[in-house]
Amino acid sequence: GAPEPVSPTGRHTGIDPPLDAQGGEHLTTAHGSRRGDTDHSLKAGRRGPVLLQDHHFREKISHFDHERIPERVVHARGAGAHGVFRSYGTASRISSAAVFQKDVETPVFVRFSTVLGSRGSADLARDTRGFATKFYTSEGTWDLVGNNIPVFFVQDAIKFPDVVHAAKPHPDREIPQAQSAHDTFWDFVSLHTEAQHHTIWNMSDRGIPRSYRTMEGFGVHTFRLVDDAGRSVLVKFHWKPKLGVHSVLWEEAQIAMGMDPDVHRRDLADAIEAGAHPQWELGVQVFEDNEEQMFEGIDLLDPTKIVPEELAPVEPVGLMTLDRNPSNYFAETEQVAFNPNNLVRGIDVTNDPLLQGRLFSYLDTQLSRLGGPNWTQLPINRPHAPVNDMLRDGMHQTAVHTGVAPYHPNTLDGNNPFPADEPARPFIDHPAPVAESVKERGNPVTFEDHYSQPRLFWLSMSDVEKEHIAQAYTFELGKCWEQSVKERQLQALANIDEKLCAVVAQGLGLPAPKPTVKHGRIKPSPALSQVGGQWPLD
Ligand code: HEM
């Protein structure tokens, strides 16, 4: 077994068991000195000034002064829960990942979030929702950091700061806080029309979910699964809620936000406490991993495109049950650090340029949010697999490393990460070909179609869903000051659907422009509708 942690003097350090700073019988300072009075500061006489000498006073106030850590730069508001993922074994034929082997149960922690609001904002703002899952697998941690909308605003991560700057509150007055009802948002999405697909999902009922328990989740990007023989397939991940997909009406959202800004957070916690444990089935759409990485004319590396389920069915691979609330919001929901880099053997990335940028961003942001490089030691982030990472020291180091040779291999500590009798199953970087070797900044031509999929979404909606979408565009655009921004967005709507554009234009009191793109015949995808795809073929 692993050697006991020892101090430089050779004594047991006592830090191996989890630190419980509130476990002692008596009130103490942080260094364990007992205190009898925590209600009065030390003064020069009963009416005198407070003395600098009062360590207990200064420690208490100073620690309190530093209680907050920076909120996440996006997805600041969230709610988390623990649970378990049980694999059906159906994905074991396409991936060697331990988490996909038959009947394997893997502990998970999920954090649901809104994207734009601050930590104290209301749950039911019209927004995308984060759906991030940490799988503590026996072969290391796998994070599936997804959203409740299957596409994203931009195709290249270099535009992420731009879309977030445009969607966060205006820099002058910080108004509006968390809704898409402002000029910069509509300025951005009408200038960068690749964002129109994500935006129509936001304007649909999906933007105001009834509950976290009734949301779908999507990995968005195409990922790669690899089996033990090194064979690979491309997949898109889907979470399907057992309770079905449900939203609220806009008026309901306004009332709920006013009466209970914590409505989603409370719903999740109450349901779990009452034993109504929410469940999601994880499924994959599977595609051949060929050189083109296209399917039925859809570029699988373009994160603004879906593949309709009617063309590639979602195959269930396991069931997730959330059955335990966090016991400490800060330690779990706030300090959890998801990262699309957290991959395990059998699961790998593709060249989607949005995903590639995320592989840099999360680790980088967590270095400042969680104060240095040692946040993997925080209980919620610790892997449930043995670790031998050769990383040392740094801010907030809590491990007491043993040995003298922090490098691998070495002969001084006898440090072999894989005991000889255990099969070594290292992570395999899948040897995917790199198609082009010319250094350039442009997009593939297949990324240039920005309208056929928003149109597909629109055509797949029922009448009542269409009405809600048109009302949402009219309300949100109605809040814009700049006429030119409204006009440019109306042009984008005309390119999606003339009827939609006409209704919104009338609501705004503006003329409806003519489309500038031509669509071929588009077959609606009933699976996109929350009411079962009753919209007839166009
Ligand atoms: C946080 C999803 C794109 C940067 C998050 C979270 C989710 C998420 C769910 C919250 C995680 C949590 O609950 O702690 C997505 C999805 C994307 C996407 C599905 C596209 C498909 C991007 C891109 C970037 C980015 C392109 C940057 C280039 C961040 C950052 C955070 C974050 C900096 C805060 C992380 C933290 O402080 O721990 N994202 N995101 N995201 N995302 Fe993304």
- Nearest of 318, 132, 278 to residue 219 by alpha carbon: 132
Going from the Cα of 165 to the center of ligand 1, the distance in angstroms, rounded, reads 14
Bin 393: left if φ > 0, else alpha if -120 < ψ < 50, else beta.
left
Model pLDDT, residue 19: 61
Atom 5 of ligand 1, nearest CA residue: 75
426 or 119, which is more confident? 119
**From the alpha carbon of 111, which atom of ligand 1 is closest?**
13
**From the alpha carbon of 147, which atom of ligand 1 is closest?**
19
Q: In one letter, which amino acid is 327?
A: S
Atom 37 of ligand 1, nearest CA residue: 72
Percent of the chain whose pLDDT exceeds 70: 92
Q: How confident is the model at residue 421 (pLDDT cuts 50, 70, 90)?
A: low
3-state DSSP assignment of residue 83: strand
For 436, phi then psi, to 5°, come to: -120, 140
Going from the Cα of 206 to the center of ligand 1, the distance in angstroms, rounded, reads 19
Model pLDDT, residue 537: 36
Interhelix angle 498-508/483-496, rounded to 10 degrees, is 160
Going from the Cα of 79 to the center of ligand 1, the distance in angstroms, rounded, reads 15
Q: Are 206 and 527 in contact (CB under 8 A)?
A: no
The Cα 133–Cα 130 span in angstroms is: 10
Q: Kindly report the CA angle at 465 between 206 and 122, in degrees rounded to 5? A: 35
**Model ipTM?**
0.95
Q: Are 151 and 447 in contact (CB under 8 A)?
A: no
Q: Are 136 and 147 in contact (CB under 8 A)?
A: no
Model pLDDT, residue 195: 98
Model pLDDT, residue 433: 79
Catalytic residue among 82, 147, 198, 264: 147
Going from the Cα of 256 to the center of ligand 1, the distance in angstroms, rounded, reads 27
Model pLDDT, residue 3: 45
**From the alpha carbon of 131, which atom of ligand 1 is closest?**
9
Model pLDDT, residue 343: 97
Residue 147 annotated in active site? yes
462-521 pLDDT tens trace = 999 999 999 999 999 999 999 999 999 999 999 999 999 999 999 999 999 999 999 999
Model pLDDT, residue 388: 87
Atom 36 of ligand 1, nearest CA residue: 72
Residue 75 annotated in active site? yes
Checking if the pLDDT of 418 tops 60, the result is no
The Cα 464–Cα 250 span in angstroms is: 13
200-240 pLDDT tens trace = 999 999 999 999 999 999 999 999 999 999 999 999 999 99
Model pLDDT, residue 536: 36
The Cα 487–Cα 508 span in angstroms is: 10
The DSSP bridge partners found for residue 109 are 82, 134
Checking if the pLDDT of 423 tops 70, the result is no
Q: Are 73 and 164 in contact (CB under 8 A)?
A: yes
Interhelix angle 463-478/250-259, rounded to 10 degrees, is 60
Quote the strand ranges of 227-379, DSSP E. Answer: 232-241, 279-288, 294-295, 298-299, 315-324, 347-348
Atom 38 of ligand 1, nearest CA residue: 337
Atom 31 of ligand 1, nearest CA residue: 74
Mean pLDDT of 67-78: 97
360-403 pLDDT tens trace = 999 999 999 999 999 999 999 999 998 888 899 999 999 998 88
234-275 pLDDT tens trace = 999 999 999 999 999 999 999 999 999 999 999 999 999 999
317-345 pLDDT tens trace = 999 999 999 999 999 999 999 999 999 99
Model pLDDT, residue 2: 44
Going from the Cα of 74 to the center of ligand 1, the distance in angstroms, rounded, reads 7
Cis amide leading into 176 (omega within 30): yes
94-131 pLDDT tens trace = 999 999 999 999 999 999 999 999 999 999 999 999 99
Cis amide leading into 409 (omega within 30): yes
CB-defined site of ligand 1, < 6 Å: 72-75, 78, 111, 113, 130, 132, 145-147, 152, 157, 160, 220-221, 303, 336-338, 354, 357-358, 361-362, 365-366, 369
Going from the Cα of 130 to the center of ligand 1, the distance in angstroms, rounded, reads 8
Mean pLDDT of 19-48: 89
Mean pLDDT of 411-438: 72
Catalytic residue among 75, 221, 450, 468: 75
